[in-house]
């Protein structure tokens, strides 16, 4: 789905039950439609490879934290910003999830 939030257009899709939202960094609807198709294909490819962007992981975690433990979420957000800086310095954009089956070993 393509939608406008504020002045910018956003992509909002589900892949295997996971909700993925991304800013398309444009205020022009035609450009947003073009970027939407490209970004959707890129996300599907990444998901099939099992990659997760670390920033997406942080975003999902913070969404959960706001509802589960709102009192400490501001501190969590500050900590995650420092961690994201560290990962950027290593040029590490993706992490690979550990599958539930592997945890039960």
pLDDT tens per residue, range 50-63:
667 777 788 888 88
73 Cβ contact list (under 8 Å, min separation 6): 62, 65, 66
Q: Please state the rounded mean pLDDT for residues 74-88.
A: 87
pLDDT tens-digit map of 19-68 = 888 889 899 999 999 999 898 888 888 777 666 777 778 888 888 888 88
Number of H helices, E strands in the chain: 4, 5
Task: Please state, in angstroms and rounded to a whole number, the distance separating the CA atoms of residues 101 and 60.
Answer: 22
Q: Report domain extents, the chain.
A: 2-49, 54-103
Band (103; pLDDT cuts 50, 70, 90) = very low
pTM of the complete model: 0.47
Distance CA 26, CA 11 (A): 11
pLDDT(100) > 50: no
Say what the pLDDT of residue 78 is. 92
């Amino acid at each position: 789905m393509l939608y406008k939030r504020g002045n910018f257009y956003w992509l909002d899709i589900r892949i295997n039950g996971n909700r993925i939202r991304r800013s398309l960094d444009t205020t022009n609807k035609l450009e947003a439609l073009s970027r939407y198709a490209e970004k959707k294909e890129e996300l599907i490819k990444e998901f099939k490879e099992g990659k997760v962007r670390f920033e997406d992981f942080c975003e999902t975690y913070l969404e959960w934290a706001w509802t589960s433990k709102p009192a400490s979420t501001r501190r969590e957000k500050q900590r995650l910003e420092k961690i994201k800086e560290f990962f950027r310095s290593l040029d590490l954009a993706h992490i690979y999830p550990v599958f539930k089956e592997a945890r039960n070993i």
